Chain A
């Protein structure tokens, strides 16, 4: 009941979220080399190894080479993983008794502003990871310059969705180990069964239906559709699913964050 009532309230928001974003940017700058390695270089290495290594043994998929087929899925999965990890594990470490989250409680910052600041920061970081692949793919000629706006839109909402989901999970877990369970339940099925790495046609029909329950599948379908310039009803339906689910989870995550930190 309390959970439901929390969700009905509008978050108590000012511009404080921007200060959290700025603070995270300071940390980002202070650890630029390490962060660049994990956010930008690591996804590129993974992509290169999979696409060009494994890709040599894979024939054409849906009329595309494996390298081209893999790119949109890998980009979306990269944005998903980075944004989720940033708000789940990283934020969890900030709530330990002597963690960073204790300091803003003595300032006029609101809990909702901190939650939104973290979500937006993780969204930015997720987008950065996805963009590193997008820039590489663009240079290789995998998509046209006119596709950039839709690519950015999808990256934004996928990153927003998973940074919100990460924060929501963080507000619910009781121990660090619980993240493994959350990963196995939420992320791993999406990673493997969203059609990002291989088409689901070869699997039983059930898996295709299941994949439609994953928001990341809708983002991916939308991106693949945009790359061949098909903007049909299905495209807008997929767009609606991604945007609405992202905003809904963001709202729930902020409400649960407020509830968790209100003492």
Chain B
């Protein structure tokens, strides 16, 4: 598979603050590569660096063989960016926003106009061309921002939290649109804090924490390698956690979340054995997910001292 993006030791500091440190990764053509992490993990910084809106402190990245440090303009003609903040001009109509942005990326007026019309059709915003962006509901506004990213018919799409905060129906539209773009040959680099989004869209992903990459791989491989096939989760009294742990400590990989204990299991027989060992009124057996991987490797939403 042709490598379209390669990052070597990408590092960004602002003063003494380390935003990202020593990141190495590569993205193949037509792949969807995701960065998963919570706020402050460094996702948006990576998106800003790759999109040319911010500059590296050290390291390099190459897009289509061009060094990002030296070829910002050329690279920006290959990429489309949906940043995590609004880049629409509230003084211009929806249509004029697209036309104006089209000119910013170097298109002629007639080409910008044609492209704007195509994109409004693609995003089903045909009826909103003359509206002000602020008059659109959030779901439609996000579609418009996706259209802005597609104005220059990019080969690589950089998406920073494309569906964050949207209603379920708008999320599904956005995910469907991204899948459609990928089918049509686009390479997608995605930053997300949503497991469902990462699981659905990403061919490979990296989990980030405090600017460092904790783990990287295909979602199903990450699940299988890190937490196994299934999870038995059960609730106990907080005072009894230690008692229950004694029974399972030696045999299973586990996590404690307040008064809930999660056991990570690799086979059906292991699951059956664990269920015989566990005593609780509230036991759930489910398939292991990316959520389990994330919590296991990053461990953020665990209460202090709760994880062993």
Contact = CB atoms under 8 A, between A and B. Distances in A.
Interface in B48-76: 48, 51-55, 72-74, 76
A263 B54 contact: yes
B236 interface: no
Interface stretch (A59-67, A106-114, A197-205, A251-259): A106-114
A245 B25 CA distance: 50
A5 B144 CA distance: 41
B106 interface: yes
Interface in B70-99: 72-74, 76-77, 79, 81, 83, 85-89, 91-93, 96, 99
Interface residues of B, number: 32
Interface string B96-112: 10011101111000000
A225 interface: no
A102 B101 CA distance: 12
B120 interface: no
Given A102-B87, A106-B51, A30 B92 contact: yes
A105 interface: yes
Contact of B77 (A19, A31, A100, A108): A108
Contacts, number: 70
A19 B103 CA distance: 6
Given A30-B91, A30-B96, A103-B101, A108 B85 contact: no
Interface string A234-263: 000000000000000000000000000011
A107 B55 contact: no
A231 interface: no
Max chain B CB contacts within 10 Å: which of A22, A105, A110, A262?
A: A105
A106 B87 contact: yes
B83 A102 contact: yes
B142 to A, nearest CB: 14
A97 B84 CA distance: 11
A26 interface: yes
Interface of A: 16, 19, 22-23, 26-27, 30-31, 97-98, 100, 102-110, 262-263
Given A22-B100, A106-B79, A107-B152, 4 more contacts: A22-B103, A106-B53, A108-B105, A263-B48
